Structure 1
């Protein structure tokens, strides 16, 4: 396969690139950040993109955002995302992007390179492969967040308007309350749904998804 590899940790990128070349693959892009990946991937026309979710400059979701943009530009390109930790937001956005030929693995899986290489082949062939640990975490989180049914009527009203994409200011106007009151209710919604403040979790998105999946 012709592979585009994006990883800001130089040793990891070089090591993985060497293993892939030794397995007969061609590395057509070796990028240290998402910006470089996006700049080179269209001309390189790879069969598969491997990218870390967290990339410079903020080390949050640059790699994920780049992967989604690449799939929109080149829908037939296979994409495998890597992450050091289970990333709930990444799971939601990846699955929302939909389609086929998508993989999401924890970086530790690369240690079993034979398994990892097999996943790359499966994804490039048309399958979608999500790390079992990520799936288990998502299912556990979903069960825990059934608490949406215990929200008070007012908080359910707020969540309903959130699901319509309204800002706090618009919700306040709709319910004829202050923005401060809306913010308090949203904080209590997050608490009820078991969504602690975490840079890896987009709590507003997950709260809305739980509401829509009631």
Structure 2
């Protein structure tokens, strides 16, 4: 896997690059600002760009805005937003417009190298990786979607885990349920949200986006 790292903190940037290199991930470029990130992605076309939210010059939202621009210009390039901050408006836009090859993790909640690498590989393979706190903030407001209103509390709980990129097997282990029970809940979620099977089946992601679309902007 080939990655670009965009992080203004030099120690964090160099440490992340060294860590990934030690785990056979090719770091093709490291940059300190959003302009450098866009240029590096244009040049190297990595599998994933790892992006901090707040970078020079204003240290507000340059990184996540660059992430949205990268996904629009290069759909094959995955984006992992890796930050201390949850920018809900931009996170919603990123997920709504590009519901695959995207992740949003919080720096102070990563508990292991394995979890971080798993998220990177999941994104590179076309999946989604979201921190539970990101999900909580995005889904905290009441929903007015009629399909969502039909979901039970258990179905909402499972849908939140789906949003984190968990497989049915992993969800079953987390909730101490039988795999067949989780499969039935997921099928019920799709049915209640009117999401029939398609030839390009992204129903798991689209179900999560229904939650996000119901939130006030």
TM bucket, shorter chain: 0.5 to 0.7
Q: CA deviation at 1:59?
A: 1.0
CA distance in 2 between partners of 1:97 and 1:17 (Å): 29
* Contact preservation (8 Å) 1:109, 1:116: no
2:87, 2:11 → 1: CA distance? 23
Matches within 5 A, 1:12-161: 12-140=12-140, 142-143=141-142
Structure 1 pair 35–100 and aligned structure 2 pair: CA distance change class (3 A): same
Q: Contact 2:78/2:102 (CA < 8 Å) preserved in 1?
A: yes
SS of match in other structure, 1:60 = coil
Alignment partners' CA distance in 1, 2:139 and 2:31: 33
> Could you tell me how far apart the structure 1 residues matched to 2:127 and 2:116 are?
14
3-state SS in 2 of match to 1:15: helix
- Post-superposition CA distance 1:63-101 (Å, at most 9, x none): 111111111121011110012033222322222322311
Partner Cα distance (1:129, 1:37) in 2 = 21
Q: Which runs of 5+ in 1 are unaligned?
A: 147-205
**Is the deviation greater in 30-39 or in 86-95?**
86-95
Structure with bigger gyration radius:
1
Which of 203, 210, 216 is equivalent to 1:210? 216
Indicate the RMSD between aligned Cα atoms, in angstroms.
2.1
TM-score by length of 2: 0.63
Aligned to 2:163: none
TM-score if structure 1 supplies the norm length?
Answer: 0.64
